[in-house]
């Protein structure tokens, strides 16, 4: 703070020629302050002459509205984690642009309440015409049904979106929330820009829209990281347009803002919260996953094989693959069933991300006589959309996040349904599988007792067969490979074999009949693998089918195929094919039904390995964990993300401090007794004069000297408020006369005039630089 006394032996510098000399206030009699009337609208505080604010140029109004519309639209596009961009863009465009145009057209002819009422009516009309497409009254007015649907949609869509696999379907019942929020932000921002002189306030309504999008879309596929940076850049641009007094200020500020936005976008991914943002869905009670009733596909294998020419579906794909239908992970001693729970989805299939080498395969299915609710697809599905006649959208598409299984709630009238699937099909290498460690999945290792609660004798027999089949295997992966080869070699494929996959049926298949369908081969493999400590499950699907030209394949009932999967840590579920090829049954364990040539070569390489027992894991002793370098996890955190996170945290903390501390300090200076309030107004004025280049921090300047330097920097219009405030500061400091609240109010009105002059005189970049300087934290 500037000193208020004059050092001995030093005279006060004379005022400029156009400023009248100031008498020595210490030699003047102290008179009580003159009562000051409250400020009059249109009259500049602290002056006697009327000084109405100049009218805002029309170009500033128009550009401000354009920026507000962009702010609302950008915040609305953050919903890309909730809806697909194709469904979102037209909705956001209408909701951001229309209210901006309506408010601009009505601002000069209607009061605020009337403009808001017209905007509400316009929103209902737009919602009825674009989202619900209901019949309008009088050709354009929304019907009561559409009004009710819109209001209920705004009320209920948030909860629906929090309990749906994202992205959700962009129908009116869900996307109406984004439409409403963007429309409301555009209306509020436009009205604030047109009816107030606030600099940044018109940007505030876009913030709740962004917050809602982030909360609802954390678990979705989109990324909101660039959106906050763009919003901040647009808000600063809005402030520049509304506060800049010269064209050169605007021209210099725009490139600076662009650079800041680019830096923020680039730094976003390294922030600590960027990789794993908090998902508010954890706080929401999710509805229980919906189980699907119906005959297990494994129980239908024999029936399909007895009618092998029944057309089930066609698939168009450039890749020959097996089409997975259902995953069965629970065994009760009698039958394999599925514990999958299905959730509605707008197309994305969440769950295990496809890691490692894989092929992205696109398929288009058309259902024919395929029974049940399940939908076939190549494993593992990532995206699915209906492209032809689809079931009722209220039933819609469902997916099991754990297994990736697809289903439609409409179990009837499925013939002719067409849908498109994008899958990631894994390619495994011998090096990747060689040291694989079984996952610790107790549910996938369960071998239950019989219905009477006793241990069935068949279970011990299965363990004996499993150890015999894998004798000499030196790793869990060798066990899994040799087990499949054993079944292919020691049993025959027979489509006329009786159905069944209970303990008793499997023992009969392995020890006596040694003939069975793909049902028995897959079920036997899963039980034998569990007896060895390999977590397993059964998968039912179909082979590639018969090529019919143009990439289309016809899949028949006779193409049904079951296989097993074993779960390995860090790799996931790896398929194994124990069913022998029908034309080579019983001849060689190397020929499997449904296995690719590349996978067959990998299994042969693993099965034929003869590793050193001293260095190779034994199936009878714990397998050593792969090193962090082998797994790729925990291989050492690089310094760059850590440094970026620390730098981002420090920068964010500093920006928060320079943003929050000065307003808090100003608020504190405005409170207290009148003498403290006058002193606070002078201190705050000294801070503002520093932004104008006045060396007010010198401790050898009197208040009058500071005022003189301020007049020189700001012009003669600053003479009256500066000298008046300097006199009040001197009176309260050196005079015994008590100060009252009117004097304190006058001091802060002087400060308001000085602050306005600084804003008009000093360019925005220079004021921002002063605000961001470390010295702003100390004064």
Position 174 pLDDT exceeds 60:
yes
Return the pLDDT at 620: 35
The residue among 12 and 94 whose pLDDT is bigger is 94
* Contacting residues for 6 by C-beta, under 8 A, at least 6 apart: 12, 702
Instruction: Give the closest residue to 253 by CA, choosing from 283, 282, 233.
Output: 233
Position 580 pLDDT exceeds 50:
yes
Return the pLDDT at 616: 38
CA distances from 608 to 254, 588, 590, 618 (A): 68, 15, 11, 16
Q: What is the pTM of this model?
A: 0.57
pLDDT mean over 295-314: 91
DSSP H or E segment with residue 760: helix 741-761
Return the pLDDT at 294: 62
Position 291 pLDDT exceeds 60:
no
Q: Which 8-state DSSP code applies to residue 563?
A: E
- The fraction of the chain above a pLDDT of 70, given in percent, is 73
| pLDDT tens digits along 437-476 | 999 889 999 998 866 667 788 888 899 999 999 998 889 9
pLDDT bucket at 262, cuts 50 / 70 / 90: low
Return the pLDDT at 697: 53
Mean pLDDT of the chain: 78
pLDDT mean over 15-44: 46
| pLDDT tens digits along 229-261 | 788 888 888 888 887 766 566 666 667 666 666
**Residues 383, 406: Cα–Cα separation, whole Å:** 10
Provide φ and ψ at 326, rounded to 5°: -145, 150
Return the pLDDT at 615: 35
3-state secondary structure 450-507: CCCCCCCHHHHHHHHHHHHHCCCCCCHHHHHHHHHHHHHHHCEECCCCCCCCCHHHHH
* Contacting residues for 515 by C-beta, under 8 A, at least 6 apart: 491, 492, 493, 494, 497, 509
- The fraction of the chain above a pLDDT of 90, given in percent, is 27
**Residues 542, 335: Cα–Cα separation, whole Å:** 20
Which residues sit opposite 516 in a β-bridge?
493
Provide φ and ψ at 295, rounded to 5°: -70, 135
Q: Are 4 and 733 in contact (CB under 8 A)?
A: yes
Question: Considering only 377-381, 479-483, 532-536, 701-705, which range has the smallest mean pLDDT?
Answer: 701-705
CA distances from 559 to 171, 519, 768 (A): 38, 13, 72
Q: Are 483 and 578 in contact (CB under 8 A)?
A: yes
Position 32 pLDDT exceeds 90:
no
Question: Considering only 58-72, 74-88, 151-165, which range has the smallest mean pLDDT?
Answer: 151-165
pLDDT mean over 34-41: 44
pLDDT bucket at 487, cuts 50 / 70 / 90: very high
Residue whose entry in the numeric block shows the structure tokens 């034929």: 608
| pLDDT tens digits along 315-331 | 999 888 999 999 999 99
pLDDT bucket at 512, cuts 50 / 70 / 90: very high
pLDDT mean over 499-528: 93
Structure-block tokens of residue 394: 């209220």
């Amino acid at each position: 703070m500037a000193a208020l006394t004059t050092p001995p032996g030093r005279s006060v510098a004379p005022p400029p020629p156009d400023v009248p000399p100031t008498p020595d206030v210490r030699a003047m009699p102290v008179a009580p302050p003159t009562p000051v009337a409250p400020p009059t609208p249109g009259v500049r505080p602290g002056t006697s002459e009327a000084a109405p604010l100049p009218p805002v140029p029309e170009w500033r109004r128009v550009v401000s509205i354009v920026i507000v519309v962009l702010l609302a639209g950008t915040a609305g596009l953050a919903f890309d984690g909730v809806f697909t961009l194709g469904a979102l863009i037209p909705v956001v465009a209408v909701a951001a642009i229309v209210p901006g145009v309506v408010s601009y057209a009505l601002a000069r002819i209607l009061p605020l309440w009337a403009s808001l009422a017209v905007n509400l009516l316009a929103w209902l009309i737009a919602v009825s015409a674009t989202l619900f497409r209901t019949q309008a009254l009088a050709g354009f007015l929304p019907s009561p049904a559409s009004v009710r649907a819109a209001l209920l949609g705004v009320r209920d869509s948030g909860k629906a979106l929090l309990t749906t696999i994202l992205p959700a379907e962009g129908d009116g019942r869900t996307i109406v929330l984004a439409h409403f929020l963007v429309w409301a932000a555009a209306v509020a921002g436009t009205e604030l820009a047109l009816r107030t002189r606030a600099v940044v306030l018109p940007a505030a309504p876009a913030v709740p829209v962004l917050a809602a999008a982030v909360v609802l879309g954390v678990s979705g596929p989109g990324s909101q990281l660039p959106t906050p940076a763009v919003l901040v850049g647009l808000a600063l641009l809005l402030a520049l347009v509304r506060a800049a007094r010269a064209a050169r200020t605007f021209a210099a500020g725009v490139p600076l803002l662009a650079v800041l936005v680019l830096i923020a976008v680039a730094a976003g991914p390294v922030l600590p919260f960027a990789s794993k943002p908090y998902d508010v869905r954890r706080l929401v009670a999710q509805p229980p996953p919906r189980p699907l009733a119906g005959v297990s596909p494994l129980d239908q294998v024999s029936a399909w094989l007895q009618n092998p020419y029944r057309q089930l579906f066609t698939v168009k794909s450039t890749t020959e693959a097996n089409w997975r239908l259902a995953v069965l992970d629970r065994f009760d001693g009698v039958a394999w069933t599925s514990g999958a729970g299905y959730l509605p989805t707008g197309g994305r299939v969440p769950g295990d991300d496809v890691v490692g080498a894989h092929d992205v395969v696109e398929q288009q299915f058309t259902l024919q006589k395929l029974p049940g609710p399940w939908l076939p697809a190549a494993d593992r599905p990532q995206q699915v959309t209906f492209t032809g006649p689809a079931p009722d959208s209220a039933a819609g598409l469902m997916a099991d996040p754990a297994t990736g299984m697809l289903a439609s709630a409409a179990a009837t009238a499925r013939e002719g349904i067409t849908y498109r699937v994008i899958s990631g099909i894994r390619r495994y290498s011998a090096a990747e599988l060689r040291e694989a460690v079984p996952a610790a999945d107790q549910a996938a290792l369960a071998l239950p007792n019989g219905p009477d609660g006793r241990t069935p004798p068949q279970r011990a027999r299965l363990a004996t067969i499993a150890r015999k089949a894998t004798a000499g295997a030196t790793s869990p992966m060798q066990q899994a490979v040799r087990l499949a080869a054993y079944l292919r070699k020691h049993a025959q494929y027979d489509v006329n074999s009786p159905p069944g996959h209970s303990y008793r049926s499997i023992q009969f298949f392995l020890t006596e009949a040694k003939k069975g369908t793909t049902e028995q081969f897959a079920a036997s493999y899963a039980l034998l693998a569990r007896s060895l400590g390999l977590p397993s499950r059964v998968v039912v699907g179909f082979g590639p089918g018969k090529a019919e030209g143009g990439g289309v394949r016809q899949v028949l009932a006779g193409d049904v195929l079951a296989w097993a999967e074993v779960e390995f840590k860090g790799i996931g579920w790896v398929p194994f094919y124990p069913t022998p090829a029908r034309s080579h049954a019983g001849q060689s364990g190397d020929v499997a039904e449904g296995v690719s040539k590349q996978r067959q070569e990998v299994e042969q390489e693993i099965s034929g390995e003869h590793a050193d027992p001293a260095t190779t894991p034994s199936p009878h002793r714990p397998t050593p964990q792969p090193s962090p370098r082998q797994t790729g996890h925990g291989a050492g955190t690089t310094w760059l993300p850590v440094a970026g996170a620390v730098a981002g945290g420090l920068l964010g903390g500093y920006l928060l401090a320079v943003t929050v501390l000065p307003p808090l300090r100003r608020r504190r200076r405005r409170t207290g007794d009148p003498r403290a309030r006058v002193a606070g107004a002078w201190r705050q004025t000294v801070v503002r004069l520093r932004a104008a280049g006045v060396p007010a921090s010198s401790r050898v300047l009197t208040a009058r000297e500071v005022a003189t330097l301020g007049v020189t920097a700001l012009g003669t219009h600053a003479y009256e408020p500066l000298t008046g405030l300097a006199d009040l500061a001197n009176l309260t400091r050196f005079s015994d006369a008590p100060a009252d609240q009117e004097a304190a109010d006058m001091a802060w009105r002087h400060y308001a005039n000085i602050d306005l002059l600084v804003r008009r005189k000093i360019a925005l970049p220079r004021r921002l630089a002063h605000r961001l300087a470390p010295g702003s934290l100390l004064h």
